[in-house]
């Protein structure tokens, strides 16, 4: 598809590029490469192997922000009834302190957990809800938001949380504005489709919006999703944060991918 058909799809909406999927090298180097391509913001996965202080300094130097990172990834802990709630809360406290060092960082992703042999989805979700509820006072104190991310079974088989319906139900059960959804449009398309209608229905629980085209997980304009209309709906609904570009540049061409997004 020619760039003229998709250039500037996100016009008027800032984009936080996922530096894990776009660039190589250390944290600071990836931030500088994102800036060179015209991105005003970044997002990333785990923080523990990164020099957060150095990255924060580069973000401030370049006038950029970091929107979110992964506070709790895959595994069989957060959704296990026997895993101590206190350990989850302690980790969220540390992650809030990390987020406070990064300009603009308001959100942190929590992944719902892998399926656990012998446990039903209902039991796993109840354990997840318990931990998320327990973390709310910490989130409120630091004024940071957990964004729970439903996956899709094609890219992430054997996971306990798929789609908007269960994601919304968990957020409603927690009942706090400090726990919302990382509404990844790629996962939603792969699992349930009907993107705009589902987004409108789930809007009260949308904390952050990520995207990638389907099925290849590359930038918009490379797959089946009409992202021009989807992003127009996101904007119409009042989304004000940067969109998270958690996508793989097609054929590794970061300049072409950035051009498609930013124009």
- 43, containing H or E segment: strand 41-43
The whole-model pTM stands at 0.95
Domain residue spans of the chain: 18-248
Place domain 18-248 in its CATH homologous superfamily. Divalent-metal-dependent TIM barrel enzymes (3.20.20.150)
CB-based contact 9:220 (threshold 8 Å): yes
Give the SS3 label for residue 151.
Answer: strand
Distance of alpha carbon 231 from alpha carbon 261, whole angstroms: 11
pLDDT one digit per residue (tens) for the chain, 263 residues: 333 334 467 767 999 999 999 999 999 999 999 999 999 999 999 999 999 999 999 999 999 999 999 999 999 999 999 999 999 999 999 999 999 999 999 999 999 999 999 999 999 999 999 999 999 999 999 999 999 999 999 999 999 999 999 999 999 999 999 999 999 999 999 999 999 999 999 999 999 999 999 999 999 999 999 999 999 999 999 999 999 999 999 999 999 999 999 98
Distance CA 51, CA 230 (A): 35
Length of the chain in terms of residues written:
263
Residue 148 is inside which H or E element, if any?
A: strand 145-149
């Amino acid at each position: 598809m020619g760039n003229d058909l998709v250039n500037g799809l996100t016009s008027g909406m800032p984009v936080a590029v996922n530096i894990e999927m776009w660039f190589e090298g250390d944290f600071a180097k990836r931030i500088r490469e994102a800036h060179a391509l015209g991105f005003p913001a970044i997002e990333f996965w785990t923080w523990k192997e990164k020099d957060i202080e150095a990255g924060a300094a580069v973000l401030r130097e370049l006038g950029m922000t970091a929107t979110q990172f992964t506070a709790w990834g895959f595994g069989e802990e957060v959704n296990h009834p026997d895993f101590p709630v206190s350990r989850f809360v302690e980790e969220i406290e540390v992650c809030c302190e990390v987020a406070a060092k990064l300009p603009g960082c308001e959100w942190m992703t929590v992944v719902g957990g892998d399926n656990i042999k012998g446990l039903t989805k209902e039991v796993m979700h109840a354990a997840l809800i318990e931990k998320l509820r327990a973390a709310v006072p910490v989130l409120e104190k630091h004024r940071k938001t957990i964004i729970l991310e439903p996956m899709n079974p094609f890219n992430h088989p054997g996971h306990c949380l798929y789609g908007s319906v269960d994601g919304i139900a968990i957020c409603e059960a927690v009942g706090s504005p400090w726990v919302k959804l990382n509404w990844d449009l790629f996962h939603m398309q792969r699992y349930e489709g009907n993107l705009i209608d589902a987004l409108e229905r789930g809007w009260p629980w949308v904390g952050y919006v990520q995207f990638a085209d389907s099925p290849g997980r590359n930038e918009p304009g490379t797959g089946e999703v009409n992202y021009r209309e989807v992003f127009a709906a996101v904007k119409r609904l009042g989304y004000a944060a940067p969109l998270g570009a958690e996508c793989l540049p097609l054929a590794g061409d970061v300049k072409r991918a950035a051009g498609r997004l930013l124009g």
